[in-house]
Structure 1
């Protein structure tokens, strides 16, 4: 007997959910007037659509059969009634979607207006240090970094800010990064900190330079309470106490201890795979999980909750428990899971989404589950519009939708395949895990591309290889965590059992991450847009095929002979279109993930430090095939080779930090690519020898280029995606080196700004004077930069104070290989080593830098991640690539 034909998916609420998410993401970027106009327009659309739906109601009804010939002639045909019913449904869905969009738009407008009234919007715009009162929202986690000092990231709620601690009418969610002391913070605690705030694409980022301090942030009132906040849970000496985590923190610690010492990387992965606790992961394992597209596994996700719910469902069905009891048991299991892991918003969201996915996959209720998903998602965004910008919610909705729409038919296809070679229970288990993992990954991939601009080349095979190990770890590991305090021996035995599949996942991650081109940038410009459209279309077509094949009705009687149905021989237009879409999307995806040819710059490069021998040259990407160049090296040939390798067709501007030949000699190469604006720094007119050496050993000087304008302290200009500010240009300097312009440049990339600090050849005494504030008209050295161009090719006379004063992610030394000056000096390298990554053009050749988007919570995979690939908030990470463009064939 055939299985009952599944009900059609009810997508009437889908437009409302899509509209809510779209408006929630776009509205924060609109002005208050624009938001009001959009709201009015959406209300008008809602009214018009509602009126249309009511008008079509009569034609959609099935009327009483007409009695007279005249009535029969005037009556609507079944086809007309069907078309009218479909139009009425579409009009109703449009009316609801427009109304939801208007509600979200107005809610955002009210919130933005309140932020402007209390001054929070102005504080974010100023990007100056400010004291804030915070409440910790999630467990902090360590940022994996190859740059030295441990850093923490945590999602917080801002409750008050400023010297007077202005209270927030509605707490503002933010992502905070800070020193390792923040790793001791626990959810629910109230702390105080001085932070540097900024807002990017609707997300608030806070950068703390010191450990958290106990609340309150201001002197207490006579009644002992701080205005506008709750008392903090903290210990003495200004150190936040982890006791606020209570039993949950003790459970996590005990579970980490039990996992410690297990096979391979299992001890690092088990706490994350079960509880979302990644604190035990080493930076190497953490990075391998990201590059392989598996980082979502070590987070509380809806897919894992679905597997947990499915295990309970399967067990109780074997015991022939009735449906109502099974449903109650699933709900109880998810509640217990939330209690064990922690009732954070992201965990609650994952449990809800996982329950909906389980309802569709194991309960055969895809129609109802999809409707509930749309209703729940819409209600959440209408209630809290700010959640629309969080990738956590976007990924949760996408992954759950993927499971609801595709997992059941995919599981059926896989079961028919595995059923021929495996026992029934094994075939069912393997097909379920593969279906859940693959459908969630495919649904989330377009969102991840938009957020990160990168694609994990081996994510799909890696997830398929790891999928069979996920279910036992999730189910048994949750049981072990629940028993770790009550029955430690039983918990330890379960952990011993799951160490093998956990170590296997670690092995898959490290092997896939080590393959060539594991993480590839998505192309920019028109090509990237076309490939993205093809990918989305192919994904939608694939889900459509799965749904259609599930609903295809098979004849209950096998027909043979002349009555047998014809097989093949007929191609439909829709079938051909679907095949073309899937093939095109797969082809485009393959073109991206294939490794780039050696020596070719990645498509998403932002900054390049050229190997021009013993000299300096940096290229800042200002647009497609355009650049701003800072210094040009000693000779035109290597400068031209670098620009050609980077695909630069036009130079917008050339900034010469000072007039020494090793920084200006290659100017003709830049001038040949258009008519760039020329800027230079040098000593003042009254100082002897304009642009010429003033001391023994100083490099040969040059004259200012014709048409060049002098860089002066305080100058600020921009060209395309590049903005630069002259922090200091000392015209009264005694030497040309010390007259070097100190330039802070910002390159706007698709994943946020990338800041580069150029120091020219400034020497130690001049740098010390600047740091000490002896230049009243000069801005202070920047507190942070992604990249720091080390002064004077790494010579010892550059000093140590300036690089130590600027918190940079990487320090770049431009020097020629085997140069006669011994640059960079070993003492300089010793100073830089503990500060961050040190990159040398004499060793690596031309260094090309890209900005990757990730998050403090590992936003690098398609999961509806509980800890938030979530907060989803992008945090910068640098990726380096070496080119061979130098005068000696480049570096190694």
Structure 2
């Protein structure tokens, strides 16, 4: 249809019915089966009133909405009632021990938080077969979630049976989960997976192997995630960058994946001039095949349904049929699985699908009417439409709004479809023709490498995200602002003012975010990077673009951006004071794109699994891992680094005891052109007492306060350096109460100037009239635990 012709009106008659069905399920799951039943009864009354009224059009709408509400609401109320009365809920509320037999319903997903000793853990969603605990035994259904060690659980497939023992806990999610089981052991009595899952497993493994054989690590980990949602090969820092850039949806199976695959099939059908019936049959077969490849979990089935709606709209060219199809899909999915009503992924799928087939064509028409070329108009409209409608949900979930998401999605959009189709082709070829699979992956390589580059660069922009109130309220507020903005943009004057404001922001704010004015300050010798709740200190070596880094903070992004702002292109040495996550978690970001001579660790190498991760990161960067002992001194043109402690390194440390690991911290003193800086890491009372008892010379003009200013320091240790300046590296709003007020008072009482990264952002030591002075950059990071 030409752009200047009027578009047919949308058929929105089923939309109220779908919304009503969604609402009643939300009520039943969130407020309980009683309120849900009340809503169903009221709906029945409304249907009865509609039947006796003479206004046929009004009655038809109410009748459709009421019928859908009752049809979906009754099963949801029944399911909520069964969950409320499930015998396992009582045992879970009491924290009883239990042994359960379950059938997995989805792939085990990794947890960001580790288990005892830092061991990786997974979350396993399953259907209950039987349970024994709390003095009883039950046989029956019910959804359960297992928090389990990755070892033994990570490789299980959906459909497999397994038995596990552990302690029960209550579920805090309104998604029909009856209990949570925390288990520390591997699964027992593991059954065989279904045949379809075995086929899917072989295809997915073939794709992973082909990607690893052809591509570099990051693109190789991304390709399976892009194609079938397999994120097992994605590094955590790359996952964080995709989240910050607003590209997380690319690593989950969504309706767009299905649409790309079915679109490729329909295009092929059109090229070879097959009939519509043959095309429809091939599309159905492709849909079934993709669902098997991605594994028929609830999220994949949801994606298949949403992708089918998109293809229906595009293939038929009937925009009027989109809303009824989308609304009917929502009703059918909620009828099949009421728990989808509270699933954020379901909401994102519905909104994104609606935006793709409803809002994007409108934006394209507006742009083309103003002379924008067709290809560019479509490329701009799709990410803008998807981001606008999904931003409120994402903000409510994450507590932040990405300012670079539209740009990132705009840059990513052209390569997603070819990379997805080539990845599916590689997966299908892998079991039969290795060379063909490698060729398909090689063709997809530039596309996925581009996506990695976009995510890295967009996430690396300072201020890429802004904090936003989380939860339902935050999402509703942003949704209201989005609606008001869209309505306001209908007026020409508002559009002109908005354009002027956007240009002003680009010309003023963006340059100061990417290259802050006056940063770094000239003559800087030491910079305490604001990395949140952690440590990362940069020491200038006197060589342009080269520095020593002491600790790397908890996450890759902040330390990478701090080093980039300072112009550090090469690291003469990275020193990790001790092996806690808030000091080593960002190592990958520090090493990224920088030549690094070596990574140094202290004499105590615990926790062992963290050391293994450090060794792997160093090996990837081509850096050696070396040890540092008390008495060692390293020198560069403008820097000397002495190792003062630990004095008596323990032969064995309990990796689960945080204080013991902290007391293994290297204690360093840096001599710079501006004076001496004492860097005690997280050394606590035992290590500090040993240094004092040994008569160690601790004098320094600047003190990096131990352990983020916690109260685990000896007053004598804090005053021994006689420092005139104290730096506290600590996260804004952290949950530990750091820094301790009494410690801050003690330091202030000595006459020292105390500066904190949670209040001032990055802190740089520069020449002053009476010795080292400190310059603050601003923009402190919030504690991610508070987001």
| TM-score, normalised via structure 1 length | 0.55
Q: 1:332 and 1:325, CA in 2 relative to 1: closer, same or farther beyond 3 A?
A: same
SS of residue in 2 equivalent to 1:848? coil
Q: Quote how far apart the aligned CAs of 1:33 are.
A: 4.1
Q: Quote how far apart the aligned CAs of 1:411 are.
A: 4.4
Give yes or no for the alignment of 1:213 onto 2:181.
no
Of the three residues 166, 174, 198, the one matched with 2:170 is 198
Give yes or no for the alignment of 1:246 onto 2:194.
no
Q: Distance in 1 between matches of 2:109 and 2:94?
A: 28
Counterpart in the other structure of 1:520: 466
Counterpart in the other structure of 2:110: 142
Counterpart in the other structure of 2:732: 848
Counterpart in the other structure of 1:55: 54
Render the CA deviation track for 1:14-33: whole Å, top value 9, x for unaligned.
Answer: 11222222222232233554
Q: Does the CA-based 8 Å contact 1:269-1:298 persist in structure 2?
A: yes
Q: Does the CA-based 8 Å contact 1:23-1:105 persist in structure 2?
A: yes
Q: Does the CA-based 8 Å contact 1:140-1:182 persist in structure 2?
A: yes
Q: Quote how far apart the aligned CAs of 1:332 are.
A: 2.7
Q: Distance in 2 between matches of 1:322 and 1:821?
A: 71
| TM-score, normalised via structure 2 length | 0.62
Q: 1:819 and 1:491, CA in 2 relative to 1: closer, same or farther beyond 3 A?
A: closer
Match runs of 1:543-622 below 5 Å: 575=491
Q: Distance in 2 between matches of 1:458 and 1:44?
A: 49
What is the aligned residue count? Answer: 571
Q: Quote how far apart the aligned CAs of 1:270 are.
A: 1.0
Q: Does the CA-based 8 Å contact 1:610-1:885 persist in structure 2?
A: no
Counterpart in the other structure of 1:43: 44
Q: Does the CA-based 8 Å contact 1:407-1:439 persist in structure 2?
A: yes
Q: 1:55 and 1:406, CA in 2 relative to 1: closer, same or farther beyond 3 A?
A: same
Counterpart in the other structure of 2:227: 274
Q: Does the CA-based 8 Å contact 1:100-1:382 persist in structure 2?
A: no
Q: Distance in 1 between matches of 2:647 and 2:68?
A: 62
Of the three residues 329, 337, 350, the one matched with 2:282 is 329
Q: Does the CA-based 8 Å contact 1:535-1:585 persist in structure 2?
A: no
Q: 1:93 and 1:310, CA in 2 relative to 1: closer, same or farther beyond 3 A?
A: same
Counterpart in the other structure of 2:397: 451
Render the CA deviation track for 1:480-504: whole Å, top value 9, x for unaligned.
Answer: 2111112221121111111011011
Q: Distance in 1 between matches of 2:680 and 2:734?
A: 32
Of the three residues 207, 223, 229, the one matched with 1:255 is 207
Counterpart in the other structure of 2:428: 482
Q: Distance in 2 between matches of 1:505 and 1:338?
A: 24
Of the three residues 399, 412, 416, the one matched with 1:470 is 416
Counterpart in the other structure of 2:31: 30
Q: 1:323 and 1:17, CA in 2 relative to 1: closer, same or farther beyond 3 A?
A: same
SS of residue in 1 equivalent to 2:162? strand
Of the three residues 185, 188, 191, the one matched with 1:233 is 191
How well do the aligned residues superpose, as a CA RMSD in angstroms?
5.0
Counterpart in the other structure of 2:132: 162
Q: Distance in 1 between matches of 2:161 and 2:147?
A: 14
Counterpart in the other structure of 1:804: 656
Q: 1:820 and 1:461, CA in 2 relative to 1: closer, same or farther beyond 3 A?
A: closer
Give yes or no for the alignment of 1:100 onto 2:76.
no
SS of residue in 1 equivalent to 2:158? coil
Q: Does the CA-based 8 Å contact 1:132-1:160 persist in structure 2?
A: yes
Q: Distance in 1 between matches of 2:138 and 2:496?
A: 57
SS of residue in 2 equivalent to 1:155? strand
SS of residue in 1 equivalent to 2:159? coil
Q: Quote how far apart the aligned CAs of 1:882 are.
A: 13
Q: Distance in 1 between matches of 2:344 and 2:479?
A: 20
Q: 1:255 and 1:530, CA in 2 relative to 1: closer, same or farther beyond 3 A?
A: closer
Q: Distance in 2 between matches of 1:369 and 1:406?
A: 12
Q: 1:246 and 1:104, CA in 2 relative to 1: closer, same or farther beyond 3 A?
A: closer
Q: Quote how far apart the aligned CAs of 1:133 are.
A: 1.9
Render the CA deviation track for 1:299-336: whole Å, top value 9, x for unaligned.
Answer: 21101221222233334334444444433333332222
Match runs of 1:107-126 below 5 Å: 107-126=75-94
Q: Distance in 1 between matches of 2:372 and 2:441?
A: 30
Q: Does the CA-based 8 Å contact 1:398-1:444 persist in structure 2?
A: yes
Q: Does the CA-based 8 Å contact 2:383-2:406 persist in structure 1?
A: no
Q: 1:469 and 1:14, CA in 2 relative to 1: closer, same or farther beyond 3 A?
A: same
SS of residue in 2 equivalent to 1:184? coil
Q: Distance in 2 between matches of 1:275 and 1:18?
A: 30
Q: Does the CA-based 8 Å contact 1:360-1:369 persist in structure 2?
A: yes
Q: Runs of 5+ in structure 1 lacking a partner?
A: 58-87, 216-231, 235-240, 421-426, 546-573, 599-607, 612-793, 830-837, 852-877
Q: 1:106 and 1:370, CA in 2 relative to 1: closer, same or farther beyond 3 A?
A: same
Q: Runs of 5+ in structure 2 lacking a partner?
A: 518-531, 536-645, 666-676, 690-705, 711-726, 749-753, 758-762, 764-787
Q: Quote how far apart the aligned CAs of 1:350 are.
A: 0.9
Q: Does the CA-based 8 Å contact 1:136-1:187 persist in structure 2?
A: yes
Counterpart in the other structure of 2:348: 395
Q: Distance in 1 between matches of 2:239 and 2:472?
A: 33
Of the three residues 312, 321, 327, the one matched with 1:374 is 327
Match runs of 1:294-693 below 5 Å: 294-412=247-365, 420=373, 428=375, 432=378, 434-523=380-469, 528=474, 531-538=477-484, 541=487, 575=491
Q: Does the CA-based 8 Å contact 2:127-2:142 persist in structure 1?
A: yes
Q: 1:165 and 1:27, CA in 2 relative to 1: closer, same or farther beyond 3 A?
A: same
Greater percentage in helix:
2
